[in-house]
Structure 1
Amino acid sequence: MKKNVLIIGAGGVAKVAAHKCAQHNDILGDICIASRSQGKCELIIESVREKGSLKNEGGRLYSRQIDALDIPATSRLIEETGSQIVINLGTSFVNMSVLQACLATGAAYIDTAIHEEPDKICEQPPWYANYEWKYLDACQEKGLTAILGIGFDPGVVNAYCTYAVKHYFDSVDSIDIMDVNAGDHGKYFATNFDPEINFREFTGQVWTWIDRQWVAKPIHSEKQIYDFPTVGEQTIYLTGHDELHSLSKNIDANHIRFWMGFSDHYINCFTILKNIGLLSEQPVMTAEGLEVVPLKVVKACLPDPASLAPGYTGKTCIGNLVKGKKDGKDREIFIYNTCDHAECYQEVGSQGISYTAGVPPVAAAILIAQGLWDVQRMVNVEELDPDPLIKLLDTIGLPTQVQEK
């Protein structure tokens, strides 16, 4: 049984994960939070103690400073802390470094998004083949458990795909993953997670899976209105997203698409920033001779997503609309979760977007610790048995519902 968890990162998602690990430290053991800023880690620890999240009050909860791009230093940290499970919640730029440190030490690896390089966006699909999947053989040979993309989307929605195939369908025609945030943070303009990562998802072309092949479309060129449970009618746009890059390989379906909700105000602000070049990841020179990356400047000017939590109202709804056949008849279901921003803040001091992303990797860590998901190889979530995950999420804050259409 694996124990002791190292959380890398100290943003909003890491804060949620720390609370949830603390709530289950009787299973997970000691918890170390490490980031470039140890001060941010200490603020998370203070929040965990204030909320009384530690189940075993005698359990160890502490912090360390780390540059996760430094593979030897990260390897030493894993060994020094005795961590057998690493939850990588830093920026996706550090995925490959943390994965290599886990390979060097034998610690199980968990992340929530595909690796990215700072100077590249919207790479050729399947994106996982450019980075993570190059380590498939190494993980197999080492017997290393590496679970990729286990946030909510990607992550839980991947499990929803397998769950639908396992329990509801004989064959699947289409899967439409839909993510809407019907909440209100009260700011003029802000993103609910790292602005740099958020904008990079939408500044290139959309790669989507249609008729069992990759199709490129302009961003925000297709939209529809869908009537969601709890949050009602919302406008959603066809976009590219992480989970499509593994689902296209692992799920037998003709079409797999990802849709995200955006308000008209968001689209207007985004379009202006993009069209004047402020969302570019490429450096430019100012008149004063300073080299700056426009996207990083925009990020510095926008609110920290973690700061949005107080006063955030409304709910999120994320789910999969799955169409196919069962016993020779057409079938259509919507399998989903709704999350309340105010309730998340009351429990862990974070908003719902961070909550939906931060709870699933802890669920994965618990399943690894219990041996249910300790598969000793690299996998995407849809390659695992979805039942233990969905059952566990039902009890720790992210219950699943199924709507027969």
Structure 2
Amino acid sequence: MKRNVLIIGAGGVAQVVAHKCAQANDRLGDLHIASRTLAKCEAVIASVHEKKSMKVQGRFDAHAVNAMDSAEVAALIRKTGAQIVINVGSSFVNMSVLEACIETGTAYMDTAIHEDPKKICETPPWYGNYEWQRRDRCKAAGVTAILGIGFDPGVVNAWARLAEDEYFDTITSIDIVDINAGSHGKYFATNFDPEINFREFTGTVYSWQKGAWAENRMFEVGQTWTLPVVGDQKAYLTGHDEVHSLSARYPHADVRFWMGFGDHYINVFTVLKNLGLLSEKPVKTAEGLEVVPLKLVKAVLPDPASLAPTYTGKTCIGDVIRGVKDGKEAEVLIYNVADHAEAYAEVGSQGISYTAGVPPVAAALLVADGTWDVGHMANVEELDPKPFITLLNDMGLPTRIKDAAGDRLVSF
């Protein structure tokens, strides 16, 4: 059944979501996009029409909304008749958008755990601090809420569930490795909102090891991973969203997240951090102006969406999963490779945004046809991964597996 879709946010990921919804609007319904700045929404829709992404003639409207105001979001949901909300705005707005969806009985999805702007790196499990506290209310209202349905978190969670279902009797470790081997040509930039990006790396690095939370400092633990296409890449143990839900489902497995960083990124980050420029706490200038250093850094760095036209190279994100199958130890790598230039040619965004933006649209299609319309709150690993992976294969994010039997496309 067709369902109207409201996209919250108008950044690089939202642009991908908009194009992919348009490409599938024969299976969705009317499309709407809303953010604080109406002009950004109108620019996204203009990009959709410029690339002729609409599969069939249909409605795609832009709206201004304060996504931090739950009542305002609920009013927009009612005005648009939206039945699915894809929240790809800042993670600061998750709770207000989710509240609006519970109030209106609308399916909800996001791509990251909620964050309180005043807090950095709260104690685990992060989902337990906000989203999971609303499980009972979602169930009582019959609201489908799919959490963390980007790539990581999101697709990597589905791969863990696939490994559980198909490749292992027991899983002993899940290492999620995220490598961007591309180049944006700038002296320094972040691929997502700098404020959100830096907040990930300024607090404690949490991983789940030996049945308990382990704590490290950022860039304290690193290792070289050998991956398809991108080769040998240095990655560092990093705190990340999916560790917090996967550790709940696989409590007897070690669950770690590794992200690739070059020496230049680490050097610039370290200088900014040591100077106090990544602090979220306000300071006063000599002129008496109150500024938040992190917001100032964000203001002077390139807009991540502006990187897309000249971005080259590829990404490789994969799950290295170890365990036991038929009494023998086994290891698989389940992965995807995306190309920055190809993403820009198709939807006008770079590859990082592409990998994050395609999965929620696949999820929306599965909610619309009833496959994932579960009527309660769920993390991705709680859902059947096969129809999701099948859709992603057709939508530009093919899943591959490398194991003792070779390297091949995952298909069903």
For the superposition of Structure 1 and Structure 2, which TM-score range results when normalised by the shorter chain? over 0.9
Residue of structure 2 equivalent to 1:43: 43
Give 1:232 shift: 0.6
Aligned to 2:163: 164
- 1:6 touches 1:33 (CA, 8 Å); kept in 2? yes
Q: In structure 2, what is the Cα distance between the partners aligned to 1:190 and 1:356?
A: 18
- Matched residue, 1:399: 398
Question: Within 5 Å, which residues of 2 pair with 1:116-135?
Answer: 116-135=115-134
**Can you list the C-alpha shifts for 1:177-224, whole angstroms capped at 9, x where unaligned?**
000000000000000010000000000110110001101111110001
The residue aligned with 2:135 is: 136
The residue aligned with 1:22 is: 22
1:34 lines up with 2:34 in the alignment: yes
Q: 2:102: which partner in 1?
A: 103
State whether residues 189 and 302 of structure 2, in contact with CA within 8 Å, keep that contact through their aligned partners in structure 1: yes
Which residue is equivalent to 1:386?
385
Tell me the residue number matched to 1:147: 146
User: What is the number of equivalent residue pairs in this alignment?
Assistant: 404
Write out per-residue CA displacement over residues 154-192 of structure 1, whole angstroms, 9 at most, x where no aligned residue: 000000100011010000111100000000000000000
SS at match of 2:175: strand
2:237 aligns with 238
Please give the secondary structure, in 2, of the residue aligned with 1:193: coil
Measure how far apart 1:258 and its partner are.
0.3
Secondary structure of the residue aligned to 2:310 is coil
1:226 match: 225
Q: Match for residue 265 of structure 1?
A: 264
User: Contact 1:151–1:358 (CA<8 Å) still a contact in 2?
Assistant: yes
Secondary structure at the counterpart of residue 26 of structure 1? coil
Look up the match of 2:173. Answer: 174
- Name the CA distance, whole Å, in 1 between partners of 2:98 and 2:157: 21
Q: Is the 8 A contact 1:151 1:357 kept in 2?
A: yes
Residue-by-residue CA offset, 1:56-84 (whole Å, 9 max, x unaligned): 1x210110000011111110100110000
Where does residue 53 of structure 2 map in the other structure? 53
The aligned amino acid for 1:325 is: V
Q: Is the 8 A contact 1:158 1:382 kept in 2?
A: yes
Give the alignment's TM-score, normalised by structure 1. 0.99
Matched, 1:373 2:372: yes
Match of 2:409 in 1: none
In the alignment, the residues of structure 2 paired with residue 146 and residue 176 of structure 1 have an alpha-carbon distance, to the nearest angstrom, of 26
1:254-403 map, 5 Å: 254-403=253-402
Alpha-carbon deviations, 1:326-376, whole Å to 9, x = none?
101110000000000000000001000000000001111000001000000
Q: Is the 8 A contact 1:8 1:89 kept in 2?
A: yes
Q: Secondary structure of the residue that 2:253 maps to in structure 1?
A: strand
- Separation of aligned partners in 2, 1:217 and 1:225: 18
Structure 1 pair 323/300, CA: closer, same or farther in 2 (3 Å)?
Answer: same
Q: Does structure 2 conserve the Cα–Cα contact (< 8 Å) formed by 1:162 and 1:382?
A: yes
What CA deviation, in whole Å up to 9, does each residue of 1:126-175 have, x standing for no partner?
A: 01110001100000100100000000000000001000110100001111
CA distance in 2 between counterparts of 1:12 and 1:68 reads: 17
State how far apart, in whole Å, the 1-side matches of 2:391 and 2:108 are: 20
Do 1:95 and 1:115's aligned partners in 2 also have CA atoms closer than 8 Å? Answer: yes
Separation in structure 2 between the aligned mates of residue 167 and residue 105 of structure 1, nearest angstrom: 38
CA shift, 1:2, in A, is 5.4
Deviations 1:242-288 (A, max 9, x none): 00111110125420000000000000000000011000011111111
Mapped partners of 1:283, 1:120: distance in 2: 13
- Please give the alpha-carbon distance, in whole angstroms, between the structure 2 residues aligned to 1:252 and 1:300: 41
Distance 2:153 2:20 in 1: 19
Q: Distance in 2 between matches of 1:2 and 1:126?
A: 36
Q: In 1, distance between residues paired with 2:386 and 2:250?
A: 17
Q: Is the 8 A contact 2:172 2:253 kept in 1?
A: yes
Q: Which amino acid aligns with 1:231?
A: V
Residues 1:89 and 2:88 are matched in the alignment: yes
Please tell me whether residue 205 in structure 1 is matched to residue 224 in structure 2. no
The residue aligned with 1:214 is: 213
Contact (CA 8 Å) 2:247, 2:253: kept in 1 or not? no
Q: 3-state DSSP class of the match of 2:258?
A: strand
Q: CA RMSD in A?
A: 0.7
